[in-house]
Amino acid sequence: MSDPSEIPVLPLSELPVSSFKQMGLVPETKVRILEALEEEPAHGYLLAEKLGLSHGYIYTHLKELREEGMIEVVEESEGKKVYGLTQNGEYLLLALTDLE
């Protein structure tokens, strides 16, 4: 996939999110990660601990979410990447939580 910074930011009205969660297109784990990152940026180990998931499982989802343009590295120090939501990630989370 191309560089995530090249993914265009779409207005919420253009995101086809109404059926994402219902159809299982956005797995619950990814939604939980997005919700945690909405609260505060975090590195993978902290997310794994907070969500009760294995490190390998978290990093697989973080990689996918980054490639999809939903999250980005907001800080990197001592070999740890701190992730935060992109604008598209915020829009997706907003749309998914509005469905509930």
73 in any annotated domain = yes
The parent domain of residue 54 ranges over: 17-98
Q: What is the pLDDT of residues 63-85, one digit of tens each?
A: 999 999 999 999 998 889 999 99
- Which pLDDT belongs to residue 2? 56
Residue 2 lies in a domain: no
Residues of the chain with pLDDT under 50: 1, 17-24
Short-list 76, 88, 80, 81, CA closest to 34: 88
The predicted model scores a pTM of 0.73
pLDDT for position 25: 56
Residue 60 is assigned to a structural domain of this protein: yes
Report the Cα–Cα distance between both ends of the chain, in Å, rounded.
31
Asked whether residue 4 is assigned to any structural domain, the reply reads no
Number of domains the chain is built from? 1
Q: Does any domain span residue 12? A: no
Let me know if residue 44 belongs to a domain: yes
Asked if residue 8 is part of any domain, the answer here is no
pLDDT confidence of residue 28: 86
CATH number, domain with residue 68: 1.10.10.10
Answer whether residue 79 is part of any domain: yes
Per-residue model confidence (pLDDT) at position 35: 94
Residue 77: phi and psi, rounded to 5, are -150, 145
Alpha helices (H) in 1-100, listed in sequence order: 28-39, 44-51, 55-67, 87-98
pLDDT score recorded for residue 9: 67
Q: Say whether 10 sits in a helix, a strand or coil.
A: coil
DSSP state string for 79-100: TEEEEEE-HHHHHHHHHHHHT-
For residue 18, report the phi and psi dihedrals to the nearest 5 degrees: -55, -30
